[in-house]
Structure 1
Amino acid sequence: MSGSRASADRLARLLNLVPYLLARPGIELAEAATDLGVSERQLREDLELLWVCGLPGYGPGDLIDMAFDGDRVTITYDAGIDRPLRLTPDEALALVVALRMLAETPGIANRDAIERALAKIEDAAGDLADAPVEVRMPGDSDQVEALQGAVRRGRALRITYYTAARDETSERTIDPIRVLMVGGRAYLEAWCRRAEAVRLFRADRIDAQTELDEPAMAPPQARLHDLSAGVFQPSPDLPLVTLRVGRGGRWITEYYPCERVEPDGEQWLVSLRVTDLDWARRFVLGLGPEVTVVSPIDLVEQVRDQAAAALDAYAVPAPVSAGH
């Protein structure tokens, strides 16, 4: 049995184990193992895992608890898992829709596992699974379909693209390779003739596109990105920025890959790589007083100068029109 399949089966067994034991306080482990169709050793391993499961906080009084009397077990705290999992009609339909959408997502891995799960839920949902539902992918689905069509037809594209890191719009001729979804966003991976390299273009930042008559011909040296760790993968050659972050800005450590996070009194010192300092300047200014730049000095000066210019602009009184 594959690891993913075994994990899924174990999760289903754990979800039903607590209500089963609640209904049979003091049951012998051997009897429970026979009822559940597992070995006694597997049952003991499941119980050990349940001991570290529970409600957020995961402290005393939050985790599932049980008492043993020889070879007998009794659940003493169920953490709310007091009945077998039963989906409401709305929940079942939501799962069917989500899995269907996931199965159609470009570049998705483990499609077989998704289709097996979908088949099981559709079977359990019965006629409900055939309810008419309109599903739309995030972003501009027409844009994504047009990009997928260019890939299928093997045609080059001329695009107008907005680069957020530099806050600029440019025109490029590209050779599309594939469309994929990463982190809920659609990307076109293509050979950029201007950069002479493979680039990722966010579909929602392509302002215009024209399919050319010439075929897409990525050169032999074109190498696809490894996106297993996400779109942005920091490297040592990128600028390293260190910020002093207040409590309200700590969320950035969950959304951006950081090289270092350490306490500094009531604040945190956070170091992360950025594509360029212009992006970092706009990013820091958007966070307001929750963040102070520690280094590099160039970024410190850029943020200070732009903040001062903004304050000066507010200090100039607005012109008063005639008659007021």
Structure 2
Amino acid sequence: MSSSVSARLVRLLNMVPYLKANPRITYAEAAADLGVTRKQLQQDLDQLWMCGLPGYGPGDLIDFEFSGDTINVTFSAGMDEPLRLTSPEATGLLMALRALADVPGVVDPEAARSAIAKIESAAGAVHPTGAVAAEPERAPAESEAAAAVREAVRSGHAVRLEYYSASRDTLSERIVDPIRVVLVGDHSYLEAWSREAEGVRLFRFDRIVDASVLDEASAPPEPALQGSTDTSLFDSDPALPAATLRISPEAAWTLEYYPMRVLRELPDGHFEAAMTYASDEWMARLVLGFGAEVTVVEPAELAERVRRAAHAALGAYAEAG
């Protein structure tokens, strides 16, 4: 979890007790006390408005009254009292944290292990049955590159990245100014100002081959720091070609691994999915690697390229045999 995400989580947890203790406080006063801009305060309130107790209906969610320029908590959902986890709740939380810690790049392993240790200590490491929990296995160590990126974010330093671009099948080196670590889907990304592209870019942790923290301070432009994370980068780029693929049930895992959009599920269990790509050569190699489990429906030019490459490969095998 990035330092910015951690700071916001702590602020959100403290915000309801703070507002309860300061009824009808103004936006300006609350923003100043909490050390945030009015825009960020409004975003935090919008987030809290969607939080609450199981049921998540009227009377379950945190509620506010906004009168003029003041804020007043009308229902706290218990967030103004110390949190007390039941044994089943603590066990469920521990299981979720251990699962996250086992996925490289999703969270900071050290932070996850620290949270696990604290919960186990508070709960006495007891299962709902009353049995003492077994000593958990240590989560796999984070890669040196990922650890360096997190250190650069924490210390506010620029970082030199060696990055693998899956869509272009190339390695590139660039210097970036880190902004924050964000979680999108099941992957952690470094959001940073790319000096080469002169814009904000997202770099997926498991595609950062190497990272070196530089002596110079990170200095992204102020608008980049204040702006919210732009996840439109994950949408299809209309400037890139798109392929329609027919995917067998055995290869359905590719729908989660690659940036695809499912168009429809066919009666025989196959899927049709759309995928954008930057290089015909790279896309043809990708499809060939799946054999008969993934085929190109369109464009026809790509399908013909795959067909020719497959015939050439079969011919080479025949000659070798």
8 Å contact from structure 1 (residues 258, 273) kept in 2: yes
CA distance in 2 between partners of 1:250 and 1:194 (Å): 36
Structure 2 equivalent of residue 98 of structure 1: 98
Instruction: Give every structure 1 segment of 4 or more consecutive aligned residues whose post-TM-superposition deviation is greater than 6 Å.
Output: 126-131
My pick for the range that moved more, 275-284 or 250-259, is: 250-259
Structure 1 equivalent of residue 68 of structure 2: none
The structure number with the bigger radius of gyration is 1
- CA change 1:268–1:2 in 2 (3 A) is same
CA distance in 1 between partners of 2:170 and 2:131 (Å): 48
* Correspondence 1:209 to 2:205: no
Q: Which runs of 5+ in 2 are unaligned?
A: 1-47, 58-85
1:157 is aligned, of 156, 159, 163, to 159
Structure 1 equivalent of residue 171 of structure 2: 169
Post-superposition CA distance 1:92-137 (Å, at most 9, x none): 79528538959x936xxxx9xx99xx59982682898897645426
* Correspondence 1:6 to 2:56: no
The percentage of aligned residue pairs carrying the same residue is: 37
Q: Secondary structure at the match of 1:140?
A: coil
Once the 2 structures are TM-superposed, how far is the Cα of residue 273 of structure 1 from its aligned partner? 3.2
Post-superposition CA distance 1:43-86 (Å, at most 9, x none): xxxxxxxxxxxxxxxxxxxxxxxxxxxxxxxxxxxxxxxxxx99
Structure 2 equivalent of residue 188 of structure 1: 190
8 Å contact from structure 1 (residues 160, 169) kept in 2: yes
- CA change 1:98–1:249 in 2 (3 A) is closer
8 Å contact from structure 2 (residues 157, 217) kept in 1: yes
Structure 1 equivalent of residue 246 of structure 2: 244
Superposed, 1:1-324 pairs within 5 Å as 5-7=52-54, 95=95, 98=98, 101=101, 105=107, 122=123, 125=126, 133=136, 135-136=138-139, 140-222=142-224, 223-227=227-231, 232-253=234-255, 256-258=259-261, 260-261=263-264, 263=266, 266=268, 268=270, 270-278=272-280, 279-317=282-320
8 Å contact from structure 1 (residues 257, 272) kept in 2: yes
8 Å contact from structure 2 (residues 247, 273) kept in 1: no
CA distance in 2 between partners of 1:3 and 1:177 (Å): 26
- CA change 1:147–1:208 in 2 (3 A) is same
Q: Which runs of 5+ in 1 are unaligned?
A: 11-84, 319-324
Once the 2 structures are TM-superposed, how far is the Cα of residue 289 of structure 1 from its aligned partner? 0.7
- CA change 1:86–1:136 in 2 (3 A) is closer
Once the 2 structures are TM-superposed, how far is the Cα of residue 261 of structure 1 from its aligned partner? 1.3
8 Å contact from structure 1 (residues 140, 204) kept in 2: no
Post-superposition CA distance 1:264-296 (Å, at most 9, x none): x74756241314244432332222112321211
TM-score using structure 2 length: 0.55
8 Å contact from structure 1 (residues 284, 291) kept in 2: yes
Structure 2 equivalent of residue 40 of structure 1: none
CA distance in 2 between partners of 1:243 and 1:297 (Å): 12
8 Å contact from structure 1 (residues 93, 125) kept in 2: no
8 Å contact from structure 1 (residues 96, 121) kept in 2: no
Aligned residues: 230
- CA change 1:128–1:4 in 2 (3 A) is farther
Q: Secondary structure at the match of 2:152?
A: helix
TM-score using structure 1 length: 0.55
CA distance in 1 between partners of 2:271 and 2:134 (Å): 52
> In the alignment, residue 95 of structure 1 is paired with which amino acid?
M
My pick for the range that moved more, 283-292 or 246-255, is: 246-255
Q: Secondary structure at the match of 1:125?
A: coil
- CA change 1:101–1:245 in 2 (3 A) is closer
